[in-house]
């Protein structure tokens, strides 16, 4: 059953990658960096490992929203398989393992970035495998030094995928190295070589050029407080669900029952083989926060926020899963543990009801861009529309589709020219002023977002009477 859940998760990710409209950040990655062979450039929007792989896959298979997202799907495969292995390491009932897996994978905040053509999914997948390799070696007879070296390489690849994961990977490797030193003392040089060199080599090999050519003003997105960091994670994890009344209770109930269960275990001095995994994840969280606070104080860097804090939830769930896997030491403990597991079940169920197929929370406004481009293509064929302008939200994605499915439409610009622009793609909710003073008639409203198409009355009426009105029905 656990394997079936993993297979479904991967199938859902692949389906989403195929059907969802490309978004502005994904399109900018391709249009600016990949298309122009700048995939090794230092820029906030250029996630180097993702961009490099995107270049290879789009060259090999042609450009489409699916091929642009293949690197993200590789990240999804890494993350889902690592979550599967971690849940098996808990060595508890299938019910608990499945519940923890559902929480780890089907959190809508996490799942969006297992699909979007950004570097976050790859970074998360490699981070999880850095933990898995060492955790499996810790519980078996395999070489801890080899596991440390593999984890180091995975941590380096995670940093290559997204620089915002640098400190969490540093914290992870510190915890791993200290753990090996505790278990295998008096091998400090060998340990440091295994824990540092592989990661350093892969970072320098792939991201060295970007790091040598870094410049200020790029990595400025972030939070100003720890409360803002974790508030954003909770809000994104609970985005859009029919059971909205449950939203204020999901995380607090899991946290409360978890702390009560932890207190019961501490009082009874109970433990289990999986406890090391939960303790390690908790220490990584604390150390990562400490490193970010130090960077904020010393270098005025902002704290992680939203997608740049993505890794905190999986670490929280690893700790929660390990806690749930510990057998109860008493009859009272059975009830306390059952309440904690019940809270995790509610969280998993809530996440499942958040599953979405056609949009990302972060870029919801781009959900109808693919349909819009189909209409523009039809207008190009039927009414010789070649000059299109767009507000900033849609310009990048529309130009991506123009590259993927070429027509005679010229490059779409943000500038509206009353003498030349034939169709204007507009977000009237956020930019109502752009239609003022223009003799334009809205002839199409997107079904899910605020996107509208406007044109002169003659073209608008021709659309309503022609074949293009049936394009997206």
**471 compared with 392, residue with greater pLDDT:** 392
H or E, element range at 424: strand 423-426
How are the residues of the chain apportioned to helix, strand and coil, as percentages rounded to the nearest 5?
65, 5, 30
Per-residue pLDDT band at 336 (split at 50, 70, 90): very high
Work out the widest C-alpha separation in the chain, in whole angstroms.
Answer: 83
The pLDDT, as a whole number, for residue 473 is 56
Say which DSSP state 43 is in.
B
How many Cα atoms are found within 13 Å in the side-chain-facing hemisphere of 92? 24
pLDDT tens sequence across 412-438: 998 999 899 999 999 988 888 888 888
The pLDDT, as a whole number, for residue 467 is 86
pTM > 0.85? yes
pLDDT tens sequence across 221-272: 899 999 999 999 999 999 988 888 999 999 999 999 999 999 988 888 867 7
Cβ proximity of 75 and 121 under 8 Å? yes
For 428, 431, 439, the CA distances from 436, given in Å and listed in that order, are 10, 10, 9
What b/e sequence results for 12-26 when a residue is b if at least 16 CB atoms lie within 10 Å of its CB, and e otherwise? bbbebbeebbbbbbb
What b/e sequence results for 390-400 when a residue is b if at least 16 CB atoms lie within 10 Å of its CB, and e otherwise? bbebbbbbbbb
Domain boundaries, the chain: 2-352, 368-470
Q: Is 223 helix (H, G, I), strand (E, B) or coil?
A: strand
H helix and E strand count, the chain? 19, 4
The token pair at 235 is 């809000």
Per-residue pLDDT band at 218 (split at 50, 70, 90): confident
The pLDDT, as a whole number, for residue 240 is 87
Percent of the chain with pLDDT over 90: 79
């Amino acid at each position: 059953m656990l394997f079936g859940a993993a297979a479904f998760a991967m199938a859902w990710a692949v389906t989403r990658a195929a059907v969802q409209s490309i978004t502005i950040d994904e399109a900018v990655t391709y249009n600016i960096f990949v298309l122009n062979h700048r995939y090794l450039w230092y820029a906030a929007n250029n996630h180097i490992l993702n961009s490099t792989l995107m270049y290879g896959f789009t060259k090999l298979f042609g450009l489409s929203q699916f091929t642009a997202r293949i690197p993200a799907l590789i990240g999804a495969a890494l993350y889902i398989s690592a979550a599967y292995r971690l849940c098996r390491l808990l060595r508890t009932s299938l019910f608990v393992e499945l519940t923890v897996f559902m929480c780890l994978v089907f959190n809508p905040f996490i799942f969006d970035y297992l699909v979007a053509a950004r570097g976050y999914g790859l970074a998360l997948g490699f981070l999880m495998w850095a933990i898995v390799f060492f955790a499996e070696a810790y519980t078996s007879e395999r070489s801890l030094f080899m596991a440390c070296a593999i984890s180091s390489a995975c941590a380096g690849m995670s940093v290559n995928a997204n620089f915002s994961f640098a400190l969490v990977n540093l914290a992870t490797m510190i915890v791993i190295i200290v753990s090996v030193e505790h278990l295998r003392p008096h091998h400090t040089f060998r340990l440091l070589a295994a824990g540092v060199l592989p990661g350093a080599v892969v970072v320098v090999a792939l991201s060295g050029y970007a790091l040598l050519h870094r410049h200020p003003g790029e990595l400025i997105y972030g939070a100003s407080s720890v409360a803002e960091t974790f508030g954003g994670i909770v809000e994104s994890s609970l985005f859009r669900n029919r059971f909205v009344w449950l939203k204020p209770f999901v995380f607090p109930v899991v946290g409360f029952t978890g702390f009560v269960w932890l207190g019961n275990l501490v009082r009874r001095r109970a433990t289990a083989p999986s406890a090391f995994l939960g303790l390690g994840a908790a220490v990584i969280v604390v150390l990562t926060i400490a490193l970010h606070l130090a960077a904020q104080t010393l270098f005025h860097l902002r704290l992680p926020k939203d997608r740049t804090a993505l890794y905190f939830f999986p670490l929280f769930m690893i700790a929660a899963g390990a806690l749930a896997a510990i057998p109860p030491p008493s009859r009272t403990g059975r009830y306390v543990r059952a309440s904690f597991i019940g809270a995790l079940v509610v969280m998993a169920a809530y996440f499942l009801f958040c599953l979405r197929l056609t949009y990302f929370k972060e870029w919801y406004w781009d959900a109808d861009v693919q349909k819009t481009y189909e209409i523009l293509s039809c207008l190009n064929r039927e009414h010789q529309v070649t000059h299109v302008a767009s507000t900033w939200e849609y310009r990048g994605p529309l130009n991506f589709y123009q590259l993927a499915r070429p027509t005679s439409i010229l490059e779409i610009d943000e500038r509206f020219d009353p003498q030349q622009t034939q169709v204007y793609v507009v977000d009237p909710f956020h930019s109502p002023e752009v239609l003022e003073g223009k003799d334009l008639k809205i002839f199409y409203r997107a079904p899910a977002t605020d996107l509208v198409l406007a044109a002169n009355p003659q073209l608008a009426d021709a659309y309503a009477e022609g074949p293009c009105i049936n394009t997206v029905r």
